[in-house]
Structure 1
Amino acid sequence: MSVRQSLLAILDHGACYGSQLRAEYIRRTGASVNVGQVYTTLERLERDGLVANDGVDDDGRVLWSVTPAGRTEARAWLQSASVADGRDEVALRIGLAVTLPGADVRGILSAQRAGVRAALSEEARRSGGEDVVGVAVVAAARRARLEAELRWLDEVERMTIGRAGIAISEERPRRGRPARATL
């Protein structure tokens, strides 16, 4: 979840100071965010014309409000679809391991399963009774992803039964970094 757009979406409902924004983010999502990241993000949002410094409150804290451009960006973000398209380090690690001769694929999959099951147990221990529906939504998404990862690990195991790793290719790319000349 983008902290940048999340802060804009919260500010769309009223001016806040930095620590207040952090508390609202945590209260609404259950996810943590560093207060320093909030203030750095606010500075960037101000630079980009998406928030404005609204002066200070009675306690001397800087209040921030969303600008019309920030409101437009926040509302567009809330309405947009997003699909995870970043690098999946787990899939890349396992995908590489299954091609390496001698890699203990079963051991690797077993360790990953154990980690996912531990995360599911922790999620189950923490969840239940969330007063804020946003926190429940985030927790449910995490559980669904972890359960999907367990199914994927089972699929990977089926795909790799009887498969051997592959050796380094004899085909050499035409380009490469030349060796440094030694004196």
Structure 2
Amino acid sequence: MRALVLSCTLKRSPAESSSVLLGEQVLRRLEEEGVTGEVVRVVDHDVKFGVGTDEGDGDGWPAIRAKLLASDILVIATPIWMGQPASVCKVVLERLDAELGESDDQGRMLTEDKVALVAVVGNEDGAHHVIAECLQALNDTGFSIASNAGTYWVGEAMQSTDYRDLDPSPEKTVSATDGAVHHAVHLARLLRDAPYPPS
């Protein structure tokens, strides 16, 4: 099985990023479950605004979308800004809206047998809100959501400590990541073996 982690950090490579780090940790945990994959830092690609599968003019989304469609599990890793998912995350969710109009030869959405989970970091409240917003959008666009499909770390509000500054990672975040990954892989295997029927 394959996974794609979309890091929605606002920081271009090679800048250090806590959401990239948490996304990499989720991917390492997925690899322990026999899932291969990669982390894509969305901001490094020229992803256009829009709700189509290809917005033209060198749009970076089609290449990312091809990786997504080749994966069984999608992970959205985003920071919190002002209590909201990062703007890059919102662009990704808007681009996923195009999947509502795409279908296979049985009339099923191309994302229907894929599982999604969300990883969130930030120095303010809002992790549950951000996870809820993302999971609802992902479910709306065809992805299945396993139980406990989110992991997060939030530091003390208005402070300067980042997740990447912590060594080792907090046990509660590690535990949440373990559970999210374990459940996501379980559901993805079930869907691989028994896909949803056409409606």
| TM-score (normalised: structure 1) | 0.27
Q: Name the one with the larger strand percent.
A: 2
Larger Rg belongs to:
1
Which structure shows the bigger proportion of residues in helix conformation?
Answer: 1
TM-score, normalised to structure 2, is 0.25
